[in-house]
Structure 1
Amino acid sequence: MSVRGIRGAITVDVNEEQPILNATIELLHAIVADNEIVPDDICSVFVTVTNDLDETFPARAIRQMNGWELVPLMCALEVPVKGSLERCIRLMVLINTDKTQAEIRHVYLSGAQALRPDLSSKA
């Protein structure tokens, strides 16, 4: 078994608590479904947001999900590069798995598809 990282990102239209929490849940659900994982397989989740999203901690949404109470979570600010994608939430989900790197499915939703069009399979 190896530790693998699964990347994901999603954008929100507004800097408001509920849209941030909803987008975080949507992204995590997609990562979990696409990679067939359960909370017990997860080592930790690292969450970053762009500096224009400051109404709530996205990890709050994950903490409230059934079965995720014990998963280590950490939030941070994304590096503020001029011209970078705005209102973006990014996840790095570290899991214990037998899957190869090639079998991992990264998830980019909404405006975040522009970050990795080569990996974006969601509409």
Structure 2
Amino acid sequence: MREYIQQLKERCLTSEKETALLLEEVIYKSMILEKLRAKHGLPGSLPGYIHREEKDDLILPEEERKWLLDDEADEYEENFKRMKEESLRSRQVKMQEEYEESLREVEKWRERLATKRKEVELWMNKVDKSCIERI
């Protein structure tokens, strides 16, 4: 029995080695084939799949084709469009409010800047030669 198990193990190992060699050979030959196809501009497996003609099993039945052609807007699509337009309008209103708020803020800061300039000019006029000598 042990001899039989040993023989099976040996056959398994040899078959694994042979399979690995055959796999390497297949990979090498497929690489050569793809290089030749690329060199001569022939469609390979991927381009052939992409450019193949439609098969009969991939053609839609006439009834399903009519459904796709008669694609009318249903209630869900109308609701979706309406909700999308409402969200767009609300975003526009929000952006307009933010813009107006920023304009008010800019105007407020300009007024503050003008008052600070006046204060600086006032203090510049108050500081004269005699004030500097006293300090």
TM-score range, shorter chain: under 0.3
TM-score (norm 2): 0.17
The structure that is helix-richer by fraction is: 2
Is the radius of gyration larger for structure 1 or structure 2?
2
What TM-score, normalized by structure 1, do the two folds share?
A: 0.19
